[in-house]
Amino acid sequence: MDDTTPTPDRPADASSPAPAEVEFFIRATHQLRRVHDSSVISTHCSGPCGVEAMANLSLAELIGPNPPGPLEYVNVELIDLATGKAEGCTRGLTPLSGDPTDVHSWP
């Protein structure tokens, strides 16, 4: 390390070159997937992270862009990508009057 390398006790000054951008990747291990159309709602780094996300889904997110008929159950499964098996499930009932108004999307 030379005398111009920034350290925690010696920050970089304006004349120092900008540090290179660093990309971080987190391995996806689980997905939330709708059973009625096999669409993926979100991807997660662990089972507990997927369970937390599943607990916060709204009915509109359960139904998704391809709703089944009225008064049909929609199921969402937490899929372990290593085994392809469901580790958890939640469901909701499609309203008789059509799609729910609280439409949200995951980033």
- pLDDT of the residue at 89: 94
Which tokens go with 34?
């709708």
Which tokens go with 55?
């607990």
Which tokens go with 22?
């660093």
Question: Do 105 and 57 touch, CB atoms closer than 8 A?
Answer: no
Residue 55 CB neighbours (<10 A): 9
- pLDDT of the residue at 80: 96
Report residue 63: phi and psi, to 5°. Answer: -70, -45
Mean pLDDT of 75-89: 95
